[in-house]
Amino acid sequence: MEFDYSTRKDLKFLIEVGGRTVEEIASETGFSVRTIESVALGETKASDQVNEKIYSLLFDQGYSLNRAKEETLAEKYGKALLFHGSKKGLKEIVADGSRANCDFGTGFYLGERFDSAASFVFANEGSSVYAFSFDPKGLKGVELECDLKWMLLVCAFRGTLGQFANHPRIKQAMETIAGADYIKAPIADNRMFFVMDAYAKGEMTDVEAIHCLSASSLGKQTVIKTKKAIKRLVFLERFYLCQGERQHFAMEAEERSKLIETKLKYAKREFRGEGQFIDELLS
């Protein structure tokens, strides 16, 4: 399966809507008129260098093209629309492609928002985001909320429960997701996992942790666990992340990190004495 960018279509957008001529684009990007023309006509596939220049030009001119694409796709596909961030690009989609110590083990991870998918990969040059539609009809799905069970499962898969890893309550939680074709649950990025890790180390109660996590939502993720569910994914669009947009996400990530740190301190103060520490819960 090909997962190409829509460079030709987006270049036409720059020409028709942005009012740029091929000659002007060639001059601003540093490429020949013939190179830009051949991409616009679909005669040649844009190189990485051409893509970077074209999408940077769009971004620098104030066109939030990726956001516009997200909203347009959302109008058409609604809740079926999902996004996957990739550091190096997709060649195939498999149900066991991720690391075993991700939130729910191996699987193909997708988020419900473009920005949440981009937030995992923006630091890597050549990274991109893919849009898919997903039809769960007839599949076995498990949906989790931002609660204690979700937090314990993520801690278990990420391997931070230590002596509590084989506790009956953890095994019982694992049984509820066993055999699922897909799992839908809140996203836990590394900044949110900092909170979970503090809970697993006995530094805060479950109530403190959940209040902090629920206020730091990146939306929900869908984790595809089986080949059967993989077949229900339909590729829609590949989003190019130019340097300027990746820098934008870097600034957002820094602000998010500060916000979560503040929420952690606030939650520990606001809900002090409420809930249980992990050794009390799993004693």
CB atoms within 10 A of CB 174: 13
Task: Please say whether the beta carbons of 221 and 110 come within 8 A.
Answer: yes
Q: Model's pTM, two decimal places?
A: 0.92
69 lies in a domain?
A: no
Task: Tell me what pLDDT residue 245 has.
Answer: 96
Using alpha carbons, list the distances in angstroms from residue 269 to 102, 201, 274.
30, 18, 10
Task: Tell me what pLDDT residue 216 has.
Answer: 63
- Domain check: are 112 and 212 in the same one? yes
Task: Tell me what pLDDT residue 273 has.
Answer: 83
Task: Please say whether the beta carbons of 154 and 200 come within 8 A.
Answer: no
Q: Mean pLDDT for the chain?
A: 91
- Domain check: are 51 and 144 in the same one? no
What's the CATH number where 35 sits? 1.10.260.40
68 lies in a domain?
A: no
- Domain check: are 50 and 86 in the same one? no
- Domain check: are 130 and 6 in the same one? no
- Domain check: are 130 and 18 in the same one? no
Using alpha carbons, list the distances in angstroms from residue 100 to 28, 68, 105, 225.
45, 34, 4, 12
Looking at the predicted structure, is the pLDDT value of residue 201 above 70? yes
- Domain check: are 59 and 85 in the same one? no
194 lies in a domain?
A: yes
Task: Please say whether the beta carbons of 7 and 54 come within 8 A.
Answer: yes
Task: Please say whether the beta carbons of 245 and 67 come within 8 A.
Answer: no
Residue that terminates a domain, selected from 18, 36, 63: 63
Banded model confidence at residue 215, pLDDT cuts 50, 70, 90? low
- Domain check: are 219 and 249 in the same one? yes
Per-residue pLDDT of 121-132, as tens digits, reads 999 998 999 999
Average pLDDT over residues 55-61: 94
- Domain check: are 181 and 108 in the same one? yes
- Domain check: are 137 and 230 in the same one? yes
**Got the DSSP string for 161-227?**
-GGGTT-HHHHHHHHHHTT-SEEEEE---HHHHHHHHHHHTTSS-HHHHHHHHHTT---EEEEE-SH
70 lies in a domain?
A: no
Residue that terminates a domain, selected from 16, 40, 63: 63
108 CB-side CA count, 13 A: 22
- Domain check: are 52 and 97 in the same one? no
114 lies in a domain?
A: yes
For the ranges 2-6, 76-80, 124-128, the maximum mean pLDDT occurs at 76-80
| Percentage of residues in the chain having pLDDT higher than 90 | 71
- Domain check: are 89 and 145 in the same one? yes
Average pLDDT over residues 56-73: 94
Total structural domains within the chain: 2
Using alpha carbons, list the distances in angstroms from residue 87 to 118, 123, 278.
10, 8, 35
Using alpha carbons, list the distances in angstroms from residue 115 to 51, 80, 83, 211.
20, 17, 9, 23
CA dihedral 129, 160, 152, 218 (to 10 degrees): -30
Long-range contacts of 253-258 (CB under 8 A, 24+ apart): 253/119, 253/122, 253/191, 256/119, 256/191, 256/216, 257/191
Residue that terminates a domain, selected from 21, 37, 63: 63
177 lies in a domain?
A: yes
72 lies in a domain?
A: no
- Domain check: are 54 and 84 in the same one? no
Per-residue pLDDT of 262-272, as tens digits, reads 888 888 888 88
71 lies in a domain?
A: no
Q: Assign residue 93 a region: left if phi > 0, alpha if psi is -120 to 50, beta otherwise?
A: beta
Name the token pair of 104.
């729910």
The Cα–Cα gap between 14 and 12 comes to 5
Per-residue pLDDT of 130-141, as tens digits, reads 999 999 999 999
The Cα–Cα gap between 1 and 263 comes to 43
Per-residue pLDDT of 236-265, as tens digits, reads 999 999 999 999 999 998 888 888 888 888
Structural domain including 186 reads 78-281
The stretches of the chain forming alpha helices (DSSP H) are: 7-16, 22-29, 33-40, 48-60, 65-77, 114-118, 148-157, 168-177, 190-200, 206-214, 227-230, 243-270, 278-281
